[in-house]
Structure 1
Amino acid sequence: MTAATTAWAAHGTMSEALGTLAAEGATGALSGERGIVHLSGGRVVHVESALTPDLGALLTRSGAVPPDTWWEAVDAGGVHHRVGHRLVDSGRLAAGALEVCHLGALFDAAYFVLTHDTRPRRFRPGALHWLGAVRSVPVDTVLRESGRRRALLERIWPDAGIDVVPLTRVPGADARDLPARRGRTLAQVDGVRTAADIAASLACRTYHTLVELRRLAADGLVTAAPTVPAPAAVGQEACPAAWDDPDTALLRRLRDALEAL
C-alpha cells in the first residue's frame, strides 16, 4: 500500500478516517464494526449495514421491481459493476427512482455506520461495489446528514439502544389511537424483531422506522426485550403492496442539491 491508502488507519473513528480518504480522493471500501462505506474519487457511492435493508430488499419488497428482475440484473450486471444500469436499461426502473431509492438506502446505512462512530477496521483500495455508479455524495454531506438524524432521534427519545436490540410491547400497549404508520410499526413489535427486522417487514427504510419506534418508546408503548437466545429462524412476514415513504421529497431535494454542487 502507498501512504495515500494507509493514513486512514491513524484515526480512531470512521468519520475521521473517511475525512482523510475523501481528502486523498481515494477509491475503495472502508469497513467498520457496523458496515462498509464505498468510495469513488473520495466521494461516497454506497453504504452497507446489516442493520438496514439493502437496496434490493427495498425495491423488491415494495413492489417497485419484481424479485426475478432484480436477481436477473444482479446475475447479469454484478460482475461488471452495472446492476443499476441493467435495471434502468431494461426499462423496469426509471433512473430517477433508482437514484432516490439508492440515496435512501445509503443514508439509512450511514446512520448506523457513523452514529456510534466505531474504529475503522480495514480499507480495501480499488474495491468496487457490484451495484455500480448511481449517485455519489460528498463525505461531508453524509456525516452532516447522519448527525442531523441522530439529533432528531435523541430529541424524540434519548436512548439509542432501542435502535439495535429486539423490542417488546409494554403490557397494555394499544395501537387503536395511533397514527396509521405508527400503529403498523407497533403491530410488528413482538419481542424478537429489531428495528431493522421491522423495517424490512414493512418494506420501509430503517430510519423512518426508528422515528416511529422512538416515539412509541417516548409514549411508554415499547421497550427493549429481555435478553433471550436467538431463535433458529424467523418466519417471513407479508409485505405491503406500496412502499410507505414520506421522506421521498427530502431525498429528491438532497439529490437536486448534490447536482448543484
Structure 2
Amino acid sequence: MSLSLLTDATVLNSLETLAADRATGALTGDRGTFYLLAGDVAHVDSPFAPDLGLLLTGSGAVDPDGWREALDQGGTRGRVGRQLVDNGRLAAGALELCHLGVLFDAAYFALGHVGRTPRFRPGIAHWLGAVRPVPVDTVVRESQRRREQLQRIWPEPDIDSAPLVRVPGARAEALPTRRGRTLAQVDGVRTAAEIASALAWRTFPTLVELRRLAADGLVTAVSAQPVPPDPSLPWHTATQDEVDTALLRRLRDALEAL
C-alpha cells in the first residue's frame, strides 16, 4: 500500500482499506498510531492513553526491573510482550487482557478525531510484538460502544482531552473510593490521560469516573463553564465493579471469537 492511496482519507476508512488489503505497517493520525499485522490491529499507541509499561509497573503487576529487562532483551526484536511471559514476569493470559485493554483505550482516541490525512508506513512493527491481533471491525465497534456509553453518562467530550478543574465546593469525602481518588487528581492542569497515568489506571474506566463527576456537577473542562447536572436525565449509574466486570467479559468474548 503506497502513501498516495491514503490521500484525503480518514483514519477509519484508511484502516478499512488496509484491513481489506491485509496490510502490515503503521497508520498514524492526529491522535494515535495503529500497528497492523496482515490487516489486523496488533497494537495502538495514543498520547491520550497511558501505555502498557506504565500501567503494568505502576499497578505492581510487573516490577520496573522486570519491565526494563524485557525491553532490553526484546525491544529491538519486537518481542517485549513475549519476553515478559518467557521471563516469568507475567502470565500469557494476563498479558493478553492487559494488552487488549490498552489497545482499545488508545483506539478510542485515535479513531475519535478527524484531522490531517493519516500516514501509512508499510512494514513498521511495534516493539511490543504481536500479543493478540484484533480485527479492525472489532476495534471500530468497541470504540463506538465506548463513545455511546460515555455520551450517556455526560455528553460533553471536552472532559476526555481538556485540562480539568474542580467546581468550587467539590469534595471527595462522600464519593465512592475510586471516584474520590479520581477527583483528588483534578487540579486545573491535568487532563484525563494525565490523571490516568498518575493513578496507573486504564484510560476508559478513568473517563467513566470523570464523566460521572461532570454529571454530578463536580468537575468541568477548563475551557467550559460549570453546568449543573439535570436530575431528569437518565445518566448511567453502573458501579465501577460492574464496568470492570463487563469489560473483562467482553475482552474474554473477543479473545474466544478470534
Picking from 220, 223, 245, the partner of 1:223 is 220
Answer yes or no: is 1:108 the counterpart of 2:105: yes
Aligned pairs (5 A) from 1:134-149: 134-149=131-146
**What's the counterpart of residue 122 of structure 2?**
125
Q: State whether residues 169 and 189 of structure 1, in contact with CA within 8 Å, keep that contact through their aligned partners in structure 2.
A: yes
How far apart are residue 246 of structure 1 and its match?
Answer: 5.4
Aligned pairs (5 A) from 1:232-251: 247=244, 250-251=247-248
**What's the counterpart of residue 202 of structure 1?**
199
TM-score (norm: length of structure 1): 0.87
Answer yes or no: is 1:66 the counterpart of 2:80: no
Deviations 1:171-222 (A, max 9, x none): 0001122111111100110111110011011111111111111111111101
**What's the counterpart of residue 41 of structure 2?**
44
Using the alignment, how far apart are the partners of 1:182 and 1:71 within structure 2? 32
**What's the counterpart of residue 254 of structure 1?**
251
Picking from 144, 163, 169, the partner of 1:166 is 163
- One-letter identity of the residue aligned with 2:22: G
Q: 1:35 to 1:65 in 2, by over 3 A?
A: same
Answer yes or no: is 1:214 the counterpart of 2:211: yes
SS at match of 2:178: helix
- One-letter identity of the residue aligned with 1:86: Q
Gaps of 5+ in 1: 228-243
How far apart are residue 249 of structure 1 and its match?
Answer: 5.5
- One-letter identity of the residue aligned with 1:81: G
How far apart are residue 119 of structure 1 and its match?
Answer: 4.0
**What's the counterpart of residue 189 of structure 1?**
186
SS at match of 1:45: strand
**What's the counterpart of residue 155 of structure 1?**
152
**What's the counterpart of residue 235 of structure 1?**
none
Using the alignment, how far apart are the partners of 2:5 and 2:49 within structure 1? 25
Q: State whether residues 40 and 135 of structure 2, in contact with CA within 8 Å, keep that contact through their aligned partners in structure 1.
A: yes
**What's the counterpart of residue 23 of structure 2?**
26
Q: State whether residues 15 and 117 of structure 1, in contact with CA within 8 Å, keep that contact through their aligned partners in structure 2.
A: no
**What's the counterpart of residue 50 of structure 2?**
53
Deviations 1:1-51 (A, max 9, x none): xxx334651453111100000000000000000010000000000000011
Using the alignment, how far apart are the partners of 1:115 and 1:178 within structure 2? 30
**What's the counterpart of residue 231 of structure 2?**
none
**What's the counterpart of residue 233 of structure 1?**
none
Q: State whether residues 30 and 113 of structure 2, in contact with CA within 8 Å, keep that contact through their aligned partners in structure 1.
A: no
Gaps of 5+ in 2: 225-240
Q: 1:41 to 1:251 in 2, by over 3 A?
A: farther
SS at match of 2:111: helix
Q: 1:35 to 1:163 in 2, by over 3 A?
A: same
Q: 1:138 to 1:226 in 2, by over 3 A?
A: closer
Using the alignment, how far apart are the partners of 1:248 and 1:129 within structure 2? 29
Q: State whether residues 26 and 41 of structure 1, in contact with CA within 8 Å, keep that contact through their aligned partners in structure 2.
A: yes
Q: State whether residues 97 and 251 of structure 2, in contact with CA within 8 Å, keep that contact through their aligned partners in structure 1.
A: no
TM-score (norm: length of structure 2): 0.88
- One-letter identity of the residue aligned with 1:121: P
